């Protein structure tokens, strides 16, 4: 068979490129919008002052690290939706989403509690006093965005889990444009707004998160399938379903939390090497989001397709969908990695555009070198994202959680601490360690995928696809 015919067949079959792109394109654009939003935010702060960009990443990452535990859990409703959708149990979709919204309240309470300890937390970093003041201010403001962020991630699963990702994209594009506009006004004091610097960036994020949640509520309540999915009638707290969300979703949340915590601690340790090293690392990571976040969209697609096909009891199509996603992401990441390695100025020069700080020349030169490390580990991140997404789409979240915990502690946090505080090895040693961490995880998830154990896993009721859902058999399906 010729390459053309083989490609055409792979495009048209279930689990092939056509099905993948139909779902992935809006999700990839959605996650890309998130990265663009944060890229522009950090760029504006770089133009504002070196201290602002040095403070933005540690404070923003620490806030997101706390919230990530709850986002990772609440967004796992998308897997429940996908498996229920694949099994034809549409009446269980609404109740599953509501359990994620209820869980969001817990996340909001924890985030607001953490805000009270912002000062002592950043005292431990050893960062420059001017940076530390901005870190505390930014962290406190961002804490107020916790509930709408977490709840929105749960509600997005209502649409994406049913292979309807376009509403998610439209919400994200609207919120991204609003956030960028508010950033420009509030950071610099344009169009009659007060100049608030990094505090303005935080307030813009809070407003944008609240708008996103409000739009999701309206879209879901008035959705054409809302009645069939019992979104309004299924709003009651369901102890059994909530317990299953915790059983499968909480390990996913812990995995997300530990992953974020590992890189947050990495940044905090690098911050001890001085503002130049910290700012350059922040810029390199920020540019990395341009490559990383589209892969998240591809990973969400693979996770959804895995959940739907397992709900249909067709694991062979879940395997095919995984390899389709991997083919696409490795091609994309190879292209981006080449740009990072051979033309880093395309990205780094954006930060120089309106910055008048004398230190920016040194920061940019170092960031260009660090992007070559990003180019190396980005290739392996394709494996990391895609294969872990398949495992999570099946419900194999405990393995993912354990691997992240072990790898973060043993191959990222402890080695970086030894490099910075004990051996005084410098910035390049830290980035070698970060690259090795990503590579190690990628092979761990690949080997687990190849083992095939995930094929027998489900997060929904067993044999749901072959047992008709009646009022007698499913108490939650009773009329209200």
Distances in whole angstroms, Cα of residue 66 to Cα of each of 70, 300, 307: 8, 21, 27
Dihedral sign, Cα of residue 274, residue 278, residue 279, residue 284: positive
Low-confidence ranges of the chain (pLDDT < 50): 464-480
Question: Kind and range of the H or E element at 180?
Answer: helix 166-188
Question: Per residue in 244-261, pLDDT tens?
Answer: 999 999 999 998 888 878
Which pLDDT score is estimated for 464?
43
Binning the chain into helix, strand and coil, the percentages to the nearest 5 are: 80, 0, 20
Predicted pLDDT at 480: 34
Cα dist. 114→81, 139, 268 in Å? 31, 9, 17
Decide: residue 356, CB within 10 A, 0-12 exposed, 13-18 middle, 19+ buried. exposed
CA dihedral (168, 170, 176, 182) positive or negative:
negative
How far, CA to CA in Å, does 291 sit from each of 8, 101, 288, 335?
27, 30, 5, 10
Residue-wise DSSP of 383-421: HHHHHHHHHHHHT-HHHHHHHHHHHHIIIIIHHHHIIII
Compute the distance between CA of residue 245 and CA of residue 204 in angstroms, rounded to an integer.
31
pLDDT at residue number 129: 85
Whether 34 and 340 have beta carbons less than 8 Å apart is answered as no
Q: How many CB atoms lie within 10 A of CB 371?
A: 26
Round to whole Å and give the CA distance between 313 and 244.
20
**pLDDT tens digits, 91-124:** 999 999 999 999 999 999 999 999 999 989 888 8
Q: What is the pLDDT of residue 462?
A: 66
Determine the pLDDT at residue 467: 41
The stretches of 222-314 forming alpha helices (DSSP H) are 239-244, 250-270, 275-311
Q: So what's the pLDDT on residue 353?
A: 59
Quote the longest CA-to-CA distance of the chain: 73
Q: Could you give the dihedral angle defined by the CA atoms of residues 71, 388, 288 and 201, in that order, rounded to the nearest 10 degrees?
A: 0
**CA end-to-end span of the chain:** 57
47: Cα separation from own chain's centroid: 26
Report the C-alpha gap between 322 and 16 in whole angstroms.
Answer: 9
Q: What is the DSSP letter of 472?
A: T
**Alpha carbons 195 and 24: distance in angstroms, whole number:** 39
> What is the per-residue pLDDT for 333?
93
């Amino acid at each position: 068979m010729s390459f053309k015919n083989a490609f055409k067949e792979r495009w048209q079959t279930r689990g092939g490129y056509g099905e993948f792109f139909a779902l992935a394109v809006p999700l990839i654009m959605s996650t890309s919008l998130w990265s663009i939003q944060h890229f522009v935010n950090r760029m504006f702060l770089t133009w504002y002052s070196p201290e602002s960009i040095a403070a933005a990443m540690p404070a923003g990452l620490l806030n997101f690290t706390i919230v990530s535990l709850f986002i990772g859990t609440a967004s796992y409703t998308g897997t429940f939706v996908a498996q229920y959708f694949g099994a034809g149990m549409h009446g269980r979709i609404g109740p599953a989403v509501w359990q994620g919204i209820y869980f969001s309240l817990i996340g909001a309470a924890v985030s607001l509690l953490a805000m009270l300890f912002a000062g002592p937390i950043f005292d431990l970093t050893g960062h420059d006093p001017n940076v530390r003041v901005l870190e505390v201010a930014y962290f406190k403001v961002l804490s107020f965005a916790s509930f709408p962020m977490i709840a929105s991630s749960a509600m997005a699963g209502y649409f994406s889990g049913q292979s309807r990702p376009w509403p998610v994209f439209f919400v994200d594009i609207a919120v991204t444009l609003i956030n960028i506009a508010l950033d420009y006004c509030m950071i610099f004091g344009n169009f009659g707004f007060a100049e608030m610097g990094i505090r303005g960036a935080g307030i813009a994020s809070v407003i944008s998160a609240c708008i996103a949640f409000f739009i999701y509520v309206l879209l879901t309540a008035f959705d054409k399938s809302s009645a069939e999915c019992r979104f309004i009638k299924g709003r009651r707290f369901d102890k059994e379903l909530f317990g299953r969300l915790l059983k499968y979703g909480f390990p996913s949340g812990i995995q997300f939390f530990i992953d974020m915590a590992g890189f947050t601690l990495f940044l905090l340790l690098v911050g001890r090497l001085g503002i130049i090293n910290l700012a350059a690392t922040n810029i390199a990571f920020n540019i990395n989001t341009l490559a990383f976040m589209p892969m998240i969209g591809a990973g969400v697609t693979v996770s959804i397709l895995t959940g739907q096909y397992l709900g249909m009891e067709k694991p062979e199509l879940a395997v095919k969908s995984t390899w389709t996603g991997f083919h696409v992401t490795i091609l994309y990441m190879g292209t981006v990695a080449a740009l990072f390695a051979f033309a880093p100025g395309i990205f780094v020069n954006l930060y120089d555009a309106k910055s008048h700080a004398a230190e920016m020349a040194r920061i940019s030169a170092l960031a260009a070198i660090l992007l070559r490390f990003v180019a190396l580990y980005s290739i392996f991140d394709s494996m990391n994202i895609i294969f872990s997404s398949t495992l999570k789409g099946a419900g194999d979240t405990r393995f993912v959680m354990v691997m992240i915990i072990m790898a973060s502690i043993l191959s990222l946090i402890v080695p970086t601490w030894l490099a910075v505080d004990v051996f005084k090895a410098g910035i390049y040693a830290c980035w070698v360690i970060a690259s090795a961490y990503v590579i190690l995880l990628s092979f761990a998830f690949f080997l687990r995928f190849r083992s095939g154990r995930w094929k027998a896993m489900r997060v929904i009721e067993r044999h749901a696809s072959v047992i008709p859902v009646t009022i007698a058999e499913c108490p939650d399906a009773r009329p209200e």
